[in-house]
Structures are given as structure tokens and as C-alpha cells.
Structure 1
Amino acid sequence: MPELPEVETARRGLAELVEGKVLAKVVITWPRIIHTDQPLEEWAERLVGQRIHHVNRRGKYLIFELDQDALLSHLRMEGKYRYFSSDDQPEEVSVHVHVRFYFTDGSQLHYQDVRKFGRMELLPLSEVDDFFIRKGLGPEPTEASFDLATFSEGLNKHQKAIKLVLLDQKVVAGLGNIYVDEVLFRACVHPARPSNSLTQAEVESLHQAIIVVMAEATAAGGTTIRTYENTFGQPGHYQDYLQVYAKAGEACPRCGSSIEKIKLGQRGTHFCPNCQVLL
């Protein structure tokens, strides 16, 4: 699943490629991608003639800011965008392309999703902030937005495993399975520890690990384990720096113990039993 570093990498590519372009036509071939009460024809027609002014991001959501509306796109498991200039049109459309955006300059943007789990939603620009408030989305994992005291308070409210708390997007936005495993290893916290059992020192270490790991992964263009590619068709590189994720049976880079894998909340979870002790 694309997590914040992959979505941010996609956002940067999309901003470079489609900001300033005007939509001429939208073709939808898998209706469930679109979350709307409108007939699909009306939904698509609403986009026509609007210019993409900015491509932003909140958590794992891409936000295409148009003249009147914002198109919100969540990539879920396998979603990705591919751009085609007017001089490089696709000879055929992949069966995994479910939404096609045509621009007035002859270029195209295709939304591709093998698993068909991704979703798009169109909102008036004035309703975007309320949308994310209703979702209860936590702060961005940056020095500027991610307050330590608020994070500590959020963790103290939960008795469930710290990994599950970090995955639910409420205390901090953007982390998924890969990066939760990595930040917990960086902070020497066992993923099954009750969230409210962490000491203040552990909370501080985890808070800093989240900021650092997410920044490092974004700088590396994200992580490609199987199929992730950015908007230019390029893989990420952070998989070369993973410490525990998908490393079961390998030596811990910190102490040499064997990395173990368990399931928490039906999610494969990787950790070092020596560095991350379950107290």
C-alpha cells in the first residue's frame, strides 16, 4: 500500500506534470472507484473545464485543487497515476486503468489500480478541511506539525498495541505497515506493547523516529516492495535501507539477533526480539 512517502513522491511528480492543465474529458470504466451520489456522467462532466491549480496531499490522500472543486484520491493498495504527453500517447489502454483524464493540450493522466481498491471523491474546495476533520486524521509527521505533547496524550488514551494505534491515522497521519515496523524498531519499542505503557522517554524516541524515518523514506522516493512506481514509472529506493520490514530470519542490524515476524491485527509485523522487548 502506498504510504505517505510514496504518496508525497507521487504528488511531487503530478504537480510537475499536470498543474495548470485544463480538463477536457473524464472517462470512468470502473464506477466503484468514484465515491459519489451523483450519476457518473454528471460527476465527470462537473470536472470538464476546470483547471488543476495545485496538487497537494494530506496523509495518504492526494488533493487536486481545481477552480471550484477538490478531487480527493486515495490510492489504497495498488493505485498509481501515469502521465502521457500529447507527443507520447498510449497505443492501448491497460485493462487496469479505470479512470482517464484528458486535458485540453492533448495530454492524458491515467489512474491504474490492479486491485481496484482506490477511491476518488469530488468536494467543493470550501469543504476539504471539514472532510479531514470528520475523518479524524492526525497531524503530518513533520517537525512543524507533529507536536510531542499531543502525541503523548494520544498514546495514553489507548490500551491496544502501539502498532495498531499508529496504523489508525488518528495520532499521526501517513504511516502504514512498512513504516510502522521501521519506526518502532528505530525507537526500540515492541509492536505489541500497549500504547499507554510507553514511558515518556520511549514516546520521545518514537516521536523522533517517526519524523526521521518518514523524511528519509520521502527523500528516497518511497519504498518499492512489489509494484510501487512513481508518476514517471520509477521505483522508490528506501527498500535498500529497511531494517526489519520483510527481513524475517535475517540478522538484526543492531544486535545480530534473528528478526521475527508475527501478526498483529491481521498485519504482518517485523521486529527484533532482543532490541524490542515485550515488557
Structure 2
Amino acid sequence: MNNDLKVDIIIPVYKANKEFKETMAALLGQSYAVNRYILINTEEKYWDKSIESLSDKIYVKHIKKEEFDHGKTRDMAVKMSEGDIVICMTQDAICMDKYLVENMIKPFSDGRVWAVYARQLPRKDCRLIEKYTRSFNYPDKSHVRTKDDFEKYGIKTIFCSNVCAAYRKKIYDRLGGFPQNAIFAEDMIFANKIINAGGAIYYNADAKVIHSHNYTGIQQFHRNFDIGVTHADHPEIFANLKSEGEGVKMVLSTMKYLLKKGKPHLLIALIYHSGMKYVGYKAGKIYKKLPKKLCQICSTDKKYFT
């Protein structure tokens, strides 16, 4: 491992709570020394200034809520970085251990690797179906994806998650970074650039964060509506990378898992949530044909449709 790599961590923050303060304490105690922690905080009135006292390596930039964008905000933070590697995280991603940063940068010893993303493990309160979804999307074995994998893995070839993902800064700058107007999936949009430019994306199962959500069916609808909107806005990426087949595969696999676990009663919840995901996604795909007001009701990001 190259110990000379300068690493910056970037986290968009909104209404930072006690848990985030604990997350920052864990990041400050990592085995690999981080150069700087760049926090982009939405709405200064919600900011807890005591977080800044944790370390002089913490830099905070305040923005207004209407300024926040998944791509543009993170891109602004990356441009502030002087690191060789930038690690993007979300404020609700909790370090599993003190080796997260160390494990995130290890794969960069291979020059072909331009991005690395971490394994996401479920929280203690995570429901059984979501626990299995975590294991399906984030298995216990690492892998690498390149352009040669499109035929076999389809959309999974460009899978990457900014819940915890690292990028070579020079490559990020050269390829143009995250999109400036992104309702969702700014990570996969950039991952597509990496793959098509000849780089590799490494999934490191040894780099672990705790991250999961117990979404309701309605929340799944909203979230997947935004995914559909992203796919509609970027046909150059997603038109030939069918995602519905992956969804069906996951549902069938989850059904087998629930039956094996002796939990057939949870099949109703699985079908309901899967249905809400599918309807939300299909609605998002045709959002340009829908009234703006309806899109705002369906989405998690109303300002995207103004």
C-alpha cells in the first residue's frame, strides 16, 4: 500500500446529529491518517459548531437548501480537495472499524483501478428483507469490473455507491467529475465514465460501513421514481443497460431466502415493496410525459421539476 497518498474525505451534511458526531470521531481515529475532512453543510442554522472542535482538519462549507444537488454539491467539494484520493461518504454511513480508509485505498496500488467502493452492512434494527438486499448487493467477496464485463454483468458493471466510494482525484478531474444536475445516481453516472475510459472499479468487501434504511412502500416508490428519472435523463448510459432483469433476479433470490428461513409471511411485504419500486421506476421513466405537479408529488426532490 502506498502510504504517501494524500486522502481527503467529503461528506454532505444536513441537520447533523449525535450519531454524525460519533461518525466523525470514528473517522478521526482511522489507522490511515486523513489529510482533510470537507463537510458541505446544508443550512448553517442547523449546524453543530462543536463538530469543528473535534479536529483542525475539519473544513466546513455552508450552502442553502435550494443550492444542494447530489452531483453539483459533491463536485464542489472534490474541487476543494488537494488529495490524491477523495473518499465520498454520506453522513449516515458508520465506520465498521478503524481500517476503513486503509482498506479503501489499498486497491489503488493497481494503476488500473480508478474507483473503489465499500461494503454496506445492515444496522441492528434493519428488517430481514433489507438485510438480505444488503448481502445481495454487497457480497462478502471483493471483485473488479471493467468494460469487458458489460456483456456478463450489464448495469452492475457501473455500480458504485457514494455512501462510501473513493476516486483518483486526477482521473476525476480529467473525466469531468459528477454531473452538475443530478436527482440521483451521480456515482453511477461518473462510474460509467470511468469504465468507458478504460478504468476499473473495485468493490472491496474488506472496507465496511454500516448503512441501511427501513423504507416504507411509499418511500420506495419515491426513491425509485427518482431512479427512473435518472435513467430517462441519461439514455446514453442506461438505454442499453437493462436494470429490470437485475430487480427480478433479486426478488426471486429474496423469495428463496425467506422460504429457507421459514418466513413465508414476509413474502407479502416483499411483493408489496417490490411492486412499489417497480411502479415508481416505470413512472419515473416517463416523467417527461407527466405534469410537473405530479412529478413533484412522486419525487424526493421537488426543485428538480421547477
With the shorter chain as reference, the TM-score category is under 0.3
TM-score (norm 2): 0.25
TM-score (norm 1): 0.27
Structure having the higher Rg? 1
Q: Which protein has the bigger helix share?
A: 2
